[in-house]
């Protein structure tokens, strides 16, 4: 029998055992903080500079254009939710891009 077939049989047995009160289901709780509402021009520049990146390289890291980073840093536009989340992750741990293999020095 394949691994998938065995896993399905085990899952069905667990479901049956649960329905008969023989076991409690495993649960876990995950608390995800909401994405920050805003990120300041200064925070964006500071994050980029801490990484030692030009606007163009920072744009490549975030998957946006250089003009987008320029517009964030001049205050014309603000990053969307996904960009704000990524920037906040990098602010908390600047080694994330390198540790995740996004950049190689």
Provide the residue ranges of all domains of the chain, joining segments of one domain with +.
41-99
What pLDDT is stored for residue 28 in this prediction?
A: 83
Superfamily of domain 41-99: lambda repressor-like DNA-binding domains (1.10.260.40)
- pLDDT tens, the chain, 105 aa long: 888 889 999 989 988 999 999 998 878 888 888 998 889 999 999 999 999 999 999 999 999 999 999 999 999 999 999 999 999 999 999 999 999 999 887
Cβ pair 69, 58 in contact under 8 A: yes
Cβ pair 58, 90 in contact under 8 A: no
Instruction: Indicate if the alpha-carbon torsion angle 42, 47, 49, 54 is positive or negative.
Output: negative
C-alpha–C-alpha distance, residues 91 and 85, integer Å = 10
What pLDDT is stored for residue 104 in this prediction?
A: 85
Model pTM score: 0.70
How many Cβ atoms from other residues are within 10 Å of residue 77's Cβ? 13
């Amino acid at each position: 029998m394949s691994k998938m077939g065995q896993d399905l049989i085990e899952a069905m047995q667990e479901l049956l055992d649960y329905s008969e009160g023989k076991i409690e289901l495993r649960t876990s709780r995950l608390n995800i903080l909401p994405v920050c509402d805003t990120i300041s021009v200064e925070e964006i520049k500071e994050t980029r500079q801490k990484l030692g990146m030009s606007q163009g390289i920072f744009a490549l890291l975030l998957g946006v254009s250089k003009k987008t980073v320029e517009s964030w840093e001049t205050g014309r536009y603000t990053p969307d939710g996904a960009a704000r989340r990524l920037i906040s992750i990098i602010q908390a741990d600047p080694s994330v891009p390198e540790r995740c293999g996004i950049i190689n020095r």
